Amino acid sequence: MLNNKTIVVGVTGGIAVYKACDVVSRLKKLGANIHVVMTKSATEFVSPMTFQTLSNNFVTVDMFEEVKTWEVEHIELAKKADAFLIVPATANFIGKLANGIADDMLTTTVMATTSQLIVAPAMNTNMYKNPIVQENIEKLKRHGCIFIDPTSGLLACGDTGAGKLETPEKIVASVEKFFEEKEAKRDLEGIKILVTAGPTIESIDPVRYLTNRSSGKMGYSIASEAVKRGASVILVSGKTDLEVPSGLDKYIQIESAEDLYEAIIKEYNACDVVIQSAAVADYKPKTYSDKKIKKSDGDMIIELSRNKDIAQELGKIKGDKILIGFAAETNDLLENAKRKISKKNLDFIVANDLTTEGAGFKSDTNIVKIINSAGEISEYPKLLKTEVADVILDSLLKIMDNKDK
């Protein structure tokens, strides 16, 4: 049942709009509070009055129509939503959403919401298979959108193939499943997790520095998924181009390995778990020049000194904390990872081979092996980093359950 859930239903223009009427009716009967936003082209197929009658709420179409309440309508709808369902979603709407275009009431409202977006596409089969449309869909999936894939069959245009809107029964079942999983996965409530992410920077002079290729995507995914599952999360991050996840207890930006160590130590006692996904520089310049080092005719030699091994230092003061490490390697993956578990007193380590396509820095996907302190190895196929994050958090829960026994 969907009692007390507010679902905003976005309706775009296509012959499948008539099925959206059934979807709204079914959601309403399950107890949901439904608000419908239509594009102007959708009103060419079904009138707003139909959805207004089915939802028992005003239907919004035009950004500039006379206001019905004293509020900024698209912002209020965006805030109200527990989920945002687009049915049917045209190629045009998917393209606009994937590229951040907000030029009507529906796209503007979607851009303003932080709720889960669930998208049910419907279009001609050649449009659906078009590489540009598929790239847009994949881009939205990487940003966390849930897609209800269309089925194959005879389309209104006479073609046969993929692009037919999924049945109203299955669309509604997907919405129910989302809420069931969301409520079931509040399994980290009461747990305080510190996550490190991104690269560290070691300055040579005011212009130059040493760093690595970490994008921070893995750590940010872990932090975001942990928040969704109810944890209190502190994210300590090097510089990245990523948007800071919403819902964090605290966000701390650092630069050097020393900065990272000091930030962790400051928060350490209050945390139950430390997930160390940051790519930390092992070395730093032995001396820092406060003026730009000028080019000379000869070679320049930079003498490096060893940075503190943060994971090893935490292992020495572990206490009853759970420590999770990462091993990003280019060779001898398992041997190196297992050695790190023992040396750094980790509960488990997430190992990945940087030379494998679809794994490692910059990529939106990863291919990992999780190795626990007993040497047991769990292998996973190529997954989105958001999915890998859930795998890591599931493994964390197993460790916690075993500690409680």
What are the DSSP calls for 119-148, one per residue?
Answer: EEE---HHHHH-HHHHHHHHHHHHTT-EE-
pLDDT, tens only, 116-163 = 999 999 999 999 999 999 999 999 998 889 999 999 887 777 778 888
What pLDDT is recorded for position 162?
Answer: 86
Residues 200 and 79 in one domain: no
> For residue 355, what pLDDT is reported?
85
Give me the number of domains the chain comprises.
2
Q: What is the pLDDT of residue 73?
A: 53
Is there a single domain that holds both residue 170 and residue 209?
A: no
Q: What is the DSSP letter of 42?
A: G
Residues of the chain above pLDDT 90, percent: 78
For the ranges 70-84, 89-103, 189-203, the lowest mean pLDDT is seen at: 70-84
Residue 136 lies in a domain: yes
Position 66 pLDDT exceeds 80: no
**What's the pLDDT score for residue 197?**
98
Which letter does DSSP use for residue 286 in this model? S
**1 in any annotated domain:** no
Q: According to the annotation, is 340 in a ligand binding site?
A: yes
Q: Which of 183, 213, 230 is the last residue of a domain?
A: 183
* pLDDT band (50, 70, 90) for residue 65: low
Tokens of 190: 């009461």
Does the pLDDT value for residue 67 go beyond 60? Answer: no
- 143: nearest Cα among 223, 221, 26: 221
Q: Per the domain annotation, does 18 fall within a domain?
A: yes
Given 150, 166, 183, which residue is the final one in a domain? 183
Instruction: Provide the 10 A C-beta neighbour count for residue 273.
Output: 22
The pLDDT of 63-91, averaged and rounded, is 76
Mean pLDDT (the chain, rounded): 92
Confidence of residue 70 (pLDDT cuts 50, 70, 90): very low
Q: Which residue out of 21, 145, 157, 271 is catalytically annotated? A: 157
User: Same domain for 50 and 116?
Assistant: yes
Instruction: With CA atoms as reference, report the closest residue to 243 among 387, 100, 72, 92.
Output: 100
Mean per-residue pLDDT for 365-381? 93
Is residue 68 scored above 80 in pLDDT?
no
Determine the structural domain holding residue 363 and report its residue range.
192-290+301-404
In-domain check, residue 271: yes
Q: Are residues 263 and 326 in the same domain?
A: yes
Is residue 295 domain-resident?
no
**CATH code at 10?**
3.40.50.1950
Q: Is it the case that residue 250 has pLDDT exceeding 50?
A: yes
* Average pLDDT of the segment spanning 30-59: 95
pLDDT of 74 above 70: no
Q: Both ends of the chain: CA-CA distance in Å?
A: 35
Same domain? For 100 and 68 the reply is yes
292 in a labelled binding site: yes
- The pairing of strands 209-210 and 202-203 is antiparallel
- Residue 72 clears pLDDT 50, i.e. is over it: no
- Residues 375-387 have a mean pLDDT of 92
Residues 218-222: what's their mean pLDDT?
96
Whether residue 241 is contained in a domain is answered as yes
- Average the pLDDT over 76-95 and give the result: 93
Contact 89, 63 (CB under 8 A): no
Q: Is 145 a catalytic residue?
A: no
Confirm or deny that 104 is annotated as ligand binding. Answer: no
Pair 32, 66 in one domain:
yes
